[in-house]
């Protein structure tokens, strides 16, 4: 059983909003920040910049779009304030640990597959007590390959000692997680917490609203 981390186990939106509030005093620029993050994170995942550079450039561009041109030292100070606020706000969703424990009870081996920098993500897992929750942690920044590339999913299967067809991956992103896992030969599960997503007809994946639904879904598939 494989899990995405951010917005699947960890309430990524809440911590990101906390960081934005640290910069602005409010999070009214949430949509703007998300669009900017998507653009800059794509450059990071493509290997065009390292993680810290990506964060600095995003902060610089964010304030530039609001008419404020910052020097390098001011960019660094604001980004560190933002990042510290994010770290303080890291929290698990309330259904995360109960789900992981239930799957352990079923005798399943667990892996985390996440697109992020290694040091950043491992610090997050440690802070939230998840270091020992997984048999394997696969981080794009350490492996040089990111979801939805099938290589990272298949590597997780090798580490867990199962064939792709015997593995399930769940995550909040339809394309990156559920469809990426499906295309790698795993069973893809889309965690659509908002219930507002649209699943393409014949997508060949499963959809759940909460992680509490996952053990029952796996039991049905095993029959």
User: How far, in Å, are 23, 92, 189, 209 from residue 8 at the CA level?
Assistant: 25, 9, 11, 11
Q: Does residue 148 have a cis bond before it (omega within 30 degrees)?
A: yes
pLDDT tens column, 183-218:
999 999 999 999 887 787 778 999 999 999 999 998
Residue with tokens 């008419």: 67
Res 110 pLDDT > 90: yes
Instruction: Decide if 90 contacts 14 (C-beta within 8 A).
Output: no
Res 167 pLDDT > 90: yes
Report the C-alpha gap between 194 and 9 in whole angstroms: 15
Report the C-alpha gap between 4 and 142 in whole angstroms: 16
- Does an H or E element contain 33, and which? helix 30-45
Was domain 2-11+91-222 assigned CATH 3.10.129.10?
no
pLDDT at residue 223, rounded to an integer: 60
Report the C-alpha gap between 61 and 38 in whole angstroms: 13
pLDDT tens column, 7-17:
999 999 999 99
pLDDT tens column, 67-87:
999 999 999 999 999 999 999
Closest CA to 4 of 149, 194, 190: 190
């Amino acid at each position: 059983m494989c899990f995405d981390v951010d917005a699947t186990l960890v309430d990524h939106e809440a911590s990101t909003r906390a960081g934005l509030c640290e910069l602005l005093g409010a999070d009214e620029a949430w949509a703007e920040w998300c669009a900017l993050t998507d653009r800059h994170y794509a450059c990071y995942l493509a290997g065009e910049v390292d993680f810290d550079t990506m964060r600095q450039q995003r902060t610089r561009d964010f304030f530039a779009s609001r008419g404020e041109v910052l020097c390098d030292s001011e960019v660094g100070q604001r980004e560190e304030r933002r990042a510290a606020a994010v770290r303080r706000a890291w929290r698990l969703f309330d259904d995360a640990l109960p789900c992981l424990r239930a799957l352990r009870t079923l005798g399943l081996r667990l892996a985390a597959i996440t697109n992020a920098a290694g040091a950043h993500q491992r610090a997050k897992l440690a802070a939230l007590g998840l270091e020992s929750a997984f048999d394997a942690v696969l981080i794009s920044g350490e492996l040089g390959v990111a979801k939805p590339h099938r290589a990272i999913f298949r590597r997780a299967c090798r580490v867990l000692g199962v064939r792709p067809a015997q593995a399930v991956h769940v995550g909040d992103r339809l394309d990156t997680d559920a469809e990426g896992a499906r295309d790698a030969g795993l069973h893809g599960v889309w965690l659509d917490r908002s219930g507002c997503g649209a699943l393409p007809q014949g997508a060949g994946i499963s959809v759940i609203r909460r992680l509490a639904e996952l053990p029952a879904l796996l039991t049905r598939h095993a029959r």
